[in-house]
Structure 1
Amino acid sequence: MTDQPSEAAPESVVNALYFGTKTLHVEAERSGIISDLLRGEASRDGYILLHRNLLTAYQALERGLEHHRATPSLKALAQYRLERSAALEADLVALCGGSFAGIPILPEGERYAQRIDACADGDGARLIAHAYTRYLGDLNGGQILKRLLMKKPELRAAELSFYDFPDAPDLTALKTEYRNALDQAGTLVADPQAVIDEGRLAFQLNIELSWAVQNALLPEAAK
């Protein structure tokens, strides 16, 4: 008697996103203001401008996930409530000594947020790619970045609450759980390839924003 072939396990969307965006991930780390941050060379002004523009992207992602709290494929993600906007706003207030209303939203920042808003249309499946790019990134490299920022440009803890997850005593466990939630979501979408394609676009939008921030900081004569 021969064993019946077992049904193949669904591919991990996290693995597919990782391999599908690997080249762009490396490019992103070498681009503009992100490269400066990772080398410990970013200025305070550069950090402020980048995160003012990322705030709109996080707000769009939170809106999208909240809209799909009852959507079967996104329930597992939405329940984690990893929202970063409130902490990011608090950091910007601390960094700017009050209001950050004078910090511009660049066209690249607007495009990034608009794309995430568009991904909330229909079944919202493409939001998985942006949740992977932003939240899983915050739980991984974001923790390294926090330590670098405390060295240069010597940001204070009150200016870096964005990287804190006070409701999660064990970040390693949270990272594993969130990865599993992403994979669970990936098994329920109708078109997994669309999620991978969106992941590539998410990294491309990050790269464009990174260069735009760096260019905006250059003296006018050097542009």
Structure 2
Amino acid sequence: MTAATADSLPVSVVTALYFRTKALHLEAERTGIIRDLLRGKASREGYVLLLRNLLPAYRAMEHGLERHRGSPGLGEVARYRLDRAPAIESDLVAICGKAWERDVPLLPAGEVYARRIAKAAEGDGARLIAHAYTRYLGDLSGGQILQRLLLRSLQLQPSELSFYDFPGFSDVAALKADYRNALDQAGALLTDPQIVVEEGAIAFSLNIDLSCAVQTCMLPVAAAAAE
């Protein structure tokens, strides 16, 4: 795969990521804690465990984007400062209290995911494009639906769901379109877009692994509650 051919426009990295990860995206929605959340069958404890284990991944991604703020491609992506890590921390405090870091475990799958993103930030950081696509565009798409589901199924308050709010932007749909364009602009500068596309597949696989790990961790809790 090349960034462009003599007879075509540059390849859209977002479009390439979409087609490469489409099946994995469907799998992610049908497995683990994500499936339970979408069906309204997850517990507050399961949702909290997911949040706690996503946090290191967001920290790694946001740290990586900040490091590459001055680069021609990633600089355009980084300037949006979507910064979900502080929002996740705020939600964990609101739901669990200030001792959330002590009380809610970090699972091996969460650590593996964060390490992969930190690795992607090395060098020119180009592979961060795949993780920004997976997480941030997901937050701006399905995340908005999930927020409404959580309000109903888990009776969470708006103050406990700031992860899905983007208060610095008045129009989430416009933000999503603009962010997609920024990712494509960064992708147009790649010498080998396929590296980023394959990183997208890895990102979705790590999300699936984490989702399943959270669900597995919650099974004993659910069994005890059913007794």
Shorter-normalised TM range: over 0.9
Specify the alignment match of 2:11 in structure 1: 11
Specify the alignment match of 1:185 in structure 2: 186
Specify the alignment match of 1:103 in structure 2: 104
TM-score, scaled relative to structure 1 = 0.95
Specify the alignment match of 1:3 in structure 2: none
Amino acid across the alignment from 2:107: L
Q: Which has the higher helix share?
A: 2
Is 2:52 the partner of 1:52?
Answer: yes
Separation in 2 of the partners of 1:221 and 1:136?
Answer: 31
Amino acid across the alignment from 1:94: A
Q: CA deviation at 1:98?
A: 2.6
- Tell me which stretches of 4 or more aligned residues in structure 1 moved more than 4 Å: none
Q: CA deviation at 1:8?
A: 1.8
Separation in 2 of the partners of 1:184 and 1:132?
Answer: 13
Separation in 1 of the partners of 2:192 and 2:122?
Answer: 14
Specify the alignment match of 1:35 in structure 2: 35
Aligned length: 218
Specify the alignment match of 1:165 in structure 2: 166
Alpha-carbon deviations, 1:156-199, whole Å to 9, x = none? 11100110000100111111100000000100112100000000
Q: CA deviation at 1:97?
A: 2.6
Name stretches of at least 5 consecutive residues in structure 2 with no aligned partner.
1-5
Q: CA deviation at 1:220?
A: 7.7
TM-score, scaled relative to structure 2 = 0.93
Q: Aligned residues: percent identity? A: 64
Separation in 2 of the partners of 1:181 and 1:141?
Answer: 20
Amino acid across the alignment from 1:190: T
SS of residue paired to 1:197? helix
Residues 84 and 220 of structure 1: is their aligned pair in 2 closer, same or farther, counting only changes over 3 Å?
closer
Q: How does 1:132-143 map to 2 (within 5 A)?
A: 132-143=133-144
Amino acid across the alignment from 1:43: S
Separation in 2 of the partners of 1:153 and 1:203?
Answer: 25
